Structure 1
Amino acid sequence: MRPSGSSTLVPVTYLGRNVYVIDNGGLGYDRTNATFVVRTSRGSIMIDTGYAVAFRRVMEGLRAIGIGRDELKAVLLTHVHLDHCGATPLILREFRDAVVVVHPRGARHLEDPSRLLEATKEIFGERVFSKMGGMEPVDGSRIVRVSDEEELEFGDVVLRALYTPGHAPHHVAYLLTPHRYVFAGDALATRGTVFKVPLPDTVPPGFDFEAGMRSIRRVFEADPRLVLITHYGWYVASQELMEEELELYRRWFERIRELKSQGLDRFRIAELFIREFEDGLRQPLHPVARDWIYRYVWGAYLGIG
């Protein structure tokens, strides 16, 4: 889709039933980071904004969809990590009628993102952090806190919050009805053409394995038709997919635990995994996939204790 008055090809995918996917470009790579938009009979909803640096691309996507300044009513955040929430203050500045919806444990990091920014810089390093665009504070009067099983009605659709910790202690997925689509955030593995292989999304400062496994089950027990993940894409929900996710995370942690017990540090484990993936694929991994494997191994490594 191409917005009016722009020569930029905006990567927007229409999934039907008034649901859109904007490829917000992440940190400069297509098909790594998604922003979802749902048009309803009472305005539009956005799920996850992407980094602050992705703001212009998200705005171009919204224009391509045809969303005016008074149409966006809410930004729903699956969790408060910069790749999901960084552009929130910029979006709220553009859309004065919109509020941001987040789990109560994440709300404080929107009002005062200083700890979030500090932790992100520590994990990613100054060079990568500087590309993200930072994040400004959000006015507390525009924050709506959502708890587990709480339902948000927007005209002809309802979104039900599903508390899904593991990746983050304040992570929430959203079940869209009557569509039966789940916006799963990072509760499920990273997938897609860029990554070649599914990767458990176990980022630092420490993934909670038991909570994460419960959250995978929770997503599928909501009986979705489709699961939509920020990194990256949309997949038909099935018993087989749930079992694949559970086994993927189980094997990931068992292998890292075993290698850690043998004295390997997180860097050597990540390098081993990358080599094994590339040998199996018989081709190099995308630079983003290689980079993320280092961080995902780190999170699991710390989570094991």
Structure 2
Amino acid sequence: MAPSGARPAASLPVVRPMLAVPGALPAEDEEAAWAFEVKWDGARCVVGTTGDGTVRLTSRAGNDATVTYPELGALAERLRGRSAVLDGEVVVLDARGHADFGLLQRRMGIVDPRRAARLAVECPVHLMLFDLMYLDGLSLLGLPYRERRAVLAGLDLAGPRWSVPAYMEGHGRQAWDATLRAGFEGVVAKRLSSLYTPGVRSSHWRKTKHVTTLDVIIGGWSEGRGGIAGLPGAVLVGLEEPAGLRYVGSVGSGLSDTERHDLARYLAVIASPGPPFVNPVPVPGAHWAEPRLVAEITFSGWTAAGILRHPIWHRLRPDLTRLG
């Protein structure tokens, strides 16, 4: 029997994924109207199968990713001949079961079937399925989130390379604390009554990331463009380790115009002819500085190469800075 409110669909359509807006968790007195999911650090993927034993994977940008992730092809067999369009996130899990975006980058964009097959063995992906838009020729777009998730759960899709992670209703703070303790990227809050609106960034879905604060040492800068030409577009930062100062990335997001002008003056005083970092810095035309300035930043994690992910400038730490 078709789910109540579902509409017949002539064929599997091309569905752009519904998107979440960045924002705070719903207020505690509103939590009962929301579901809370783990925010996975991966690549969005729409999965379509017509029930003929084949699967088509489409990236958020609309590119065909079927060849890229061959290990997900067996999902069609799990659906037992049923046609469906599903929404999910492709991830690579580390030894702790956490998504590692640095490892996933090894898999992204591969279009050579032989190389993709080899990487599927060396660095397999896992597909986290969290929504269902079409099933057996019926559109579920007009159903509320809670009903779509119930139908998805009823498909019993657990497999070696895909799963349907659970969600939590009405307990946003509990979900937040649990994901923080477990080391996940954050929480996605979805209104239980929300319909699926393809391609729309909807306030009915909210994503909130856990971020980490870190003090880093500035060892150089790269020049900005346009209106900030001649000023630091980003600072090049590192962490002190036994072997010396290790470069961990560049930070430009969050810098105000005033801070860029201040940094330009400070860095001119401590300019250096060469880099203070013990490892290579892949930034053409970098300007170097003596490692005296300390900055506080936030970031969401590390790449497999030990580089900051999504670093954002917070402030200069004059209490830790030694200008000599």
TM over 0.5: no
Answer with 1 or 2: which has the greater Rg.
2
More strand by share: 2
Q: TM-score, normalised by structure 1?
A: 0.24
Q: TM-score, normalised by structure 2?
A: 0.23
More helix by share: 1
